[in-house]
Amino acid sequence: MSGGQGMAGEQRDRGFGFETTTAEVLEGVDLTGQTAVVTGASTGLGLETARALASAGAHVVLAVRSADKGAAAADKIRDDVPDASLEVELVDLTSLESVRAFAERVRAKHPSIQLLVNNAGVMYTPDERTAEGFELQFGTNHVAHFLLTNLLVPSLLAGAPSRVVNLSSGGHHSSDIVWDDPNYDERPYDKVSAYGQSKTANIRFTVELDRRLRDRGVRSYAVHPGMIITDLGRHMTRDDFAELKSRASRGPSGGLPPYKSVESGAATSVWAATAPELADMGAVYLADCQVSPDAAPWALEPDGARRLWTMSEELVGETFDW
């Protein structure tokens, strides 16, 4: 990969941390000639991630749900990066039919892809279902991205060395996968635990995807972006925030961290996508532009990652034996 990924061994410790921005991560990185796909690219972290990658020369596919919001996002990026190479593609992650159609279009246009950032997500939603009947957070945050990623694997293999970045959260500590009832068909719905389960799934998927594809030049990373004020929190109530603080106080950090700017929140995603110091590793949990020791005990465990892969194939009705 041009730019930074071929320079393993250089710049092992660039002093990055909590306040590092996307601009600092991309200093000296050239992504010219590379194609990046970013889901949820119309607002917040996805928009900043797309803008940052475009600023380094990548052609960026903005995967968005709304054509109007996608066009507005492209305009906003071009205000900052006038020569940005962008395209807007529609995908509704609550519909696997939409995911399949999106992946078919993108593969046809881009037989070679170097970066896939699975950024889109929902948080603390009411008890709702996707088109296929999955619990909304698990279906959107994990199942749809599992399918989308696998459908784009041929392009990622053709573009290798390539990377997949899955947005997780420190909220994954709220729940492991509940294997016998991931969609809350039998148990009472708990939106906090449902969110945690979906974010654990993002990490477990990262682990198994990396195991299957690392020898063919595709690495994957799970990212905790930190606490940022974005549209992701639109469903949170005052009581939800109080519950979040209470759970965080019992976690490894002993409480909620300070808020980050959007530029710092997106920095770890961009670092995961481009950092030369990550070229020889994968299946790791990242935070503050560092490999983080704060993953829950179950999150990086390989047997559970393989189990999730098998369950996810059953849920989407398709097998991916890479």
How far apart, in whole angstroms, are the C-alpha atoms of residue 20 and residue 36?
22
Sign of CA dihedral 260, 274, 26, 293: positive
Burial 219-240 (b: 16+ CB within 10 A, else e): bbbbbbbbbbebebeeeeeeeb
How far apart, in whole angstroms, are the C-alpha atoms of residue 50 and residue 35?
11
Q: Are 200 and 298 in contact (CB under 8 A)?
A: yes
How far apart, in whole angstroms, are the C-alpha atoms of residue 76 and residue 17?
27
Set 124, 184, 189, 195: catalytic member = 195
Look at residues 171, 227, 228 and name the one whose alpha carbon lies nearest to residue 194. Answer: 171
Q: Is 285 designated active site? A: no
The size of the chain, in residues, is: 322
Give the count of beta carbons closer than 10 Å to the beta carbon of residue 82. 7
Sheet strands side by side (includes 85-90): 85-90, 59-64, 35-39, 115-118, 162-167, 218-224, 284-287, 290-291
How far apart, in whole angstroms, are the C-alpha atoms of residue 288 and residue 265?
8
- Residues tagged active-site: 195
